[in-house]
Structure 1
Amino acid sequence: MISHKHKTVFVHIPKVAGQSVEQMYLADLGLNWSERAVLLLRPKLNTEKGPERLAHLTAAQYTQFGYLSQDNFQNYFKWALVRDPYQRALSCYHFLGYARVLSFENFVQNVLPEKIKQQHFFFLPQYDYLHDNQGQLLVDYVGHLERLDQELVYPKEKTGIQGISMPHANKAAGSWKRVVRIWGEQPSLIKYFALGHDRKSRKEVLTPRAKAGLNQLYAKDFEAFGYTQQE
């Protein structure tokens, strides 16, 4: 998200309250969600580079793909929110519909590795969103979702947001339409088909085997952002 009025770049990592942050800035501009393209919150055009939804550009891609000049990138306040890697993976699992047809263990073992290898924007490590290829942090501030109220104070002050609370958005569970898309993209997953996992608690599906897989896949996230790996 780029707001030239606020002189800020918000790097929206999927399933880390990004849409709520974006709505906060839209509200400050007197705009509604249908007018969000002004903040570069729109689908990518065929002639453009980046993820299919430009809201999910990595920090490096804003200048790499020409969405912001290097001077503005240096001068604007750049920030992001991060989240416990276990909880983020669980949120992706439910939001995209995988919980309807796969166990979480199968999601971790048979979906995430391939998606990360493909650099799919929804599953990229949070570290990769905020660092360049040399490991340099490209944003000025990283807040943690678990301490959201207190960690929003600084970016709101820096960007001139006053008197606007952040709404809660984008919590819907994965629809069957998304499930159909899963089978279309990865027909080999049919052998792991199993119903009912969407009714299990997060604690119940976060098994030691699932944790071990996430510890490996998102090792940089745990280390860089101060989250503790579990066994």
Structure 2
Amino acid sequence: MILSRRHKFIFFHIPKAAGQSVANALMPFAAGPVQRMLSPLLPYRQQLKIYTKLHERTGLRTVAQPFKDHVRIDEVVDKLGQEIFDDLFSFTFVRNPWDRLFSTYSYTLSNPRHWNHSFAKSLVDFSAFAEWHCGRGNIPFQSEFVFNRSGQKLVKYVGRFETIEDSFQEICEQVGIECQLPRFNTSRNTHSYREAFTPQTRDLVHRTYAKDIEAFGYVF
């Protein structure tokens, strides 16, 4: 998550929805003095990873970025207060759940440093990964970054991964900044995600992510 009090925006980073690229582009407009001083030696992308690990392990929060990388909207509103939150331009990006899951698998499989790489590599194929993922509980719903516990939509702008370049430029115009969108953590697959799904895994994801599919109107 990226918070800029100077430009009055807050970005909710949903995993595997181009969040690394967006966060890195926005950090120069949200960084504090220490973060800017360190940036020539420690790029913002690496700083964000370090801040998140420190927050998760110690509970410490930096002044400039007081939240961990992936944080649900209820937690942010609870800590900032509704009035302060409402005064910020809040936005995020969502992604087709079928495409997002296959991207997660592809990235995990291709990145030896990923915490789940060995397990993903041990599985027979993507279908086995999808069955494990959908059956493990604690599903990371994208809608939890957009809607509060009562089902009220609090994020002002919900962009789509599928049209991210155009949406990102609209966001920049809204908050009054100029920057380009880099690309990080892209999966290496070159074929459509649809080719990876069987009818069974397609329906499994539909049942598992029905909440997101309904909220954002996605189809396979």
TM-score (norm 1): 0.72
Name the counterpart of 1:212. Answer: 203
* Matched length: 193
- Check whether the contact 2:13–2:70 (CA below 8 A) recurs between aligned residues: yes
Letter paired with 1:42: T
Measure the CA separation in 1 of the matches of 2:7 and 2:183. 21
Gapped runs of 5+ residues in structure 1? 174-197
TM-score (norm 2): 0.76
Q: How does 1:65-76 map to 2 (within 5 A)?
A: 66=79, 68-76=80-88
Measure the CA separation in 2 of the matches of 1:94 and 1:202. 10
Measure the CA separation in 2 of the matches of 1:217 and 1:156. 34
Measure the CA separation in 2 of the matches of 1:106 and 1:200. 19
With over 3 angstroms needed to count, the CA separation of the structure-2 counterparts of 1:199 and 1:70, relative to structure 1, is: closer
Deviation at 1:151, TM superposition (A): 1.5
- The match for 2:59 among 31, 36, 48 is 48
Deviation at 1:107, TM superposition (A): 1.7
- Check whether the contact 1:40–1:54 (CA below 8 A) recurs between aligned residues: no
Measure the CA separation in 2 of the matches of 1:35 and 1:101. 33
Asked whether 1:24 is paired with 2:25, we answer yes
Letter paired with 2:148: D
Asked whether 1:161 is paired with 2:177, we answer yes
Q: How does 1:146-185 map to 2 (within 5 A)?
A: 146-162=162-178, 164-171=179-186
Q: Deviations over 1:27-58 (max 9, x none)?
A: 44684464465899522244539xxx811001
Q: Deviations over 1:112-168 (max 9, x none)?
A: 331xx23xxxx5111122111211112001001111122123211122221x21000
Q: Deviations over 1:59-107 (max 9, x none)?
A: 111133x3x3433211111110001111100111122236533222222
SS, match of residue 96 in structure 1: helix
Instruction: Give aligned-pair identity as a percent.
Output: 30
- Check whether the contact 1:60–1:130 (CA below 8 A) recurs between aligned residues: no
Moved >4 Å (runs of 4+): 28-31, 35-41, 198-201
SS, match of residue 158 in structure 2: strand
Asked whether 1:141 is paired with 2:151, we answer no
With over 3 angstroms needed to count, the CA separation of the structure-2 counterparts of 1:147 and 1:172, relative to structure 1, is: closer
Measure the CA separation in 1 of the matches of 2:18 and 2:44. 19
Name the counterpart of 1:86. Answer: 98
SS, match of residue 107 in structure 1: helix
Letter paired with 1:104: F
Name the counterpart of 1:6. Answer: 7
Name the counterpart of 2:113. Answer: none
Deviation at 1:211, TM superposition (A): 0.5
- Check whether the contact 2:19–2:93 (CA below 8 A) recurs between aligned residues: yes
With over 3 angstroms needed to count, the CA separation of the structure-2 counterparts of 1:171 and 1:13, relative to structure 1, is: same
Letter paired with 2:174: K
- Check whether the contact 1:83–1:145 (CA below 8 A) recurs between aligned residues: yes
- Check whether the contact 1:40–1:55 (CA below 8 A) recurs between aligned residues: no
